[in-house]
Amino acid sequence: MIQPSVKDIRDFSFEELQEYLTSIGEKSFRASQIFEWIYQKGAWSFDPMTNVPEILRQKLAQAFILKPHKIDRKEISQDGTTKFLFDLDDHQKVETVLIPAATRTTICISTQAGCKFGCRFCASGIGGWIRNLSCAEIITQVLHVKEEALKHDNPLSHVVFMGIGEPFDNFDNFMKAIRLINDQRGINIGARRITVSTCGVIPKIKQLANEGIQIELAISLHGYDNASRNILMPVNRKYPFDDLIAACREYIQATKRQITFEYILIKDVTCTDKAAESLKKAFRGIICKMNLIPYNPVSEFDHKTPSTQEMQAFRNRLEQFGILATIRSPRGRDVAAACGQLRHATSN
């Protein structure tokens, strides 16, 4: 029997909730009703669950937490991007972003309070790592953004794990949240509309290949060889560039799926002829997409964003080399919601 030591009901998978309900003498079909209320009807407490007997609702309310995150701040960018600053129960704060576009509505999720990987262009790593988020804390971000998106008649359609933290450093909670997002009885978003981005934690790339879930994998590459990646991404000292590319080749072979590579464009650093030549060599024989991300200013770093002409020339060079590359338009820069700008903050 699963004891309700997991205090938030959104830490349960569907099967775990069924098991819990039968262990307290309830019918397992109640799990479907409870899931529907939480994940499809957006209930923030047990009270509205009118098709669940009142006595069971009372028991659940005693055993579990079901409540929204406290919203500390909600900022809306001129381009419609909305950034939420959530104040968690222990007053750790995380940011979550809703990104509306013509054909999709995307949430960018945080998986940790802070980040230990300290990439040298990213605000999220500046304050260091505090703790992992639970599955419930991750999924509750989705429930808030889903509710917000519906208010604007733009149902949530895509999920990216590219907010604060390294998802593969919190692998079990992250995977559990993915399964709830993907579960038809849960949030019900197709696996191919869910993308996880990693800074290159090789053992977990291998583990993901064996999870049997068809989500999209993105690699935050950001360097063009071992030396450049060592400078920009300290994780490269543990998982070097060549090993990472080899792990990606294995992943593609094992899953028959493409990988997206995220590559930051920093003037005179990553957006050079030398970088393009090096990427050409590294990517020989890999069919992939490369997202080129113009550097989004963070006050602690003195990098510069290349000019539009420089970025286009770099993109064209990659395409000549057979690497399909797109320059991503920055979203939500005016509210510091763009890539690399999300920041861990505490209440102090």
For ligand SF4, the closer of residues 8 and 166 by Cβ is 166
Q: Does 130 bind ligand SF4 (CB under 6 A)?
A: no
Contact 164, 124 (CB under 8 A): yes
What is the nearest approach in angstroms of ligand SF4 to the Cβ of residue 321? Answer: 25
For ligand SF4, the closer of residues 299 and 309 by Cβ is 299
Supply 24's token pair: 């307290």
What is the nearest approach in angstroms of ligand SF4 to the Cβ of residue 328? Answer: 15
Q: Does 117 bind ligand SF4 (CB under 6 A)?
A: yes
What is the nearest approach in angstroms of ligand SF4 to the Cβ of residue 197? Answer: 7
For ligand SF4, the closer of residues 164 and 187 by Cβ is 164
For ligand SF4, the closer of residues 124 and 236 by Cβ is 124
Q: Residue by residue, what is the 3-state secondary structure of the chain?
A: CCCCCCCEHHHCCHHHHHHHHHHCCCCCCHHHHHHHHHHHCCCCCCCCCCCCCHHHHHHHHHHCECCCCEEEEEEECCCCCEEEEEECCCCEEEEEEEEECCCCEEEECCCEEECCCCCCCCHHHCCCEEEECCHHHHHHHHHHHHHHHHHCCCCCCEEEECCCCCHHHHHHHHHHHHHHHHCCCCCCCCHHHEEEEECCCHHHHHHHHCCCCCCEEEEECCCCCHHHHHHHCHHHHCCCHHHHHHHHHHHHHHHCCCEEEEEEECCCCCCCHHHHHHHHHHCCCCCEEEEEEECCCCCCCCCCCCCHHHHHHHHHHHHHCCCEEEECCCCCHHHCCCCCCCCCEECC
For ligand SF4, the closer of residues 106 and 220 by Cβ is 220
- Which one of residues 9, 98, 108, 119 is an interface residue with ligand SF4 (CB under 6 A)? 119
> Is residue 95 annotated as a catalytic residue, yes or no?
yes
- Which one of residues 9, 85, 97, 122 is an interface residue with ligand SF4 (CB under 6 A)? 122
For ligand SF4, the closer of residues 220 and 296 by Cβ is 220
Q: For ligand SF4, what does the binding mask look like between residues 219 and 258, x meaning CB under 6 A?
A: -x--------------------------------------
Catalytic residue among 26, 95, 166, 216, which? 95
Contact 177, 167 (CB under 8 A): no
- Which one of residues 80, 100, 118, 190 is an interface residue with ligand SF4 (CB under 6 A)? 118
Residues 148-207 touching ligand SF4, rule: CB under 6 A, are: 164-166, 199
What is the nearest approach in angstroms of ligand SF4 to the Cβ of residue 280? Answer: 24
Contact 28, 22 (CB under 8 A): yes
Q: For ligand SF4, what does the binding mask look like between residues 86 and 115, x meaning CB under 6 A?
A: -----------------------------x
- b/e sequence 160-180, b meaning 16+ C-beta within 10 Å: bbbbbbbbbbbbebbbbbbbb
What is the nearest approach in angstroms of ligand SF4 to the Cβ of residue 315? Answer: 21
What is the nearest approach in angstroms of ligand SF4 to the Cβ of residue 237? Answer: 14
Catalytic residue among 108, 122, 271, 339, which? 339
* Number of amino acids touching ligand SF4 (CB under 6 A): 12
Contact 86, 163 (CB under 8 A): no
For ligand SF4, the closer of residues 164 and 282 by Cβ is 164
What is the nearest approach in angstroms of ligand SF4 to the Cβ of residue 230? Answer: 14
> Which residues are at the interface with ligand SF4 (CB under 6 A)?
115, 117-119, 122, 124-125, 164-166, 199, 220
The residues that are catalytic are 95, 339
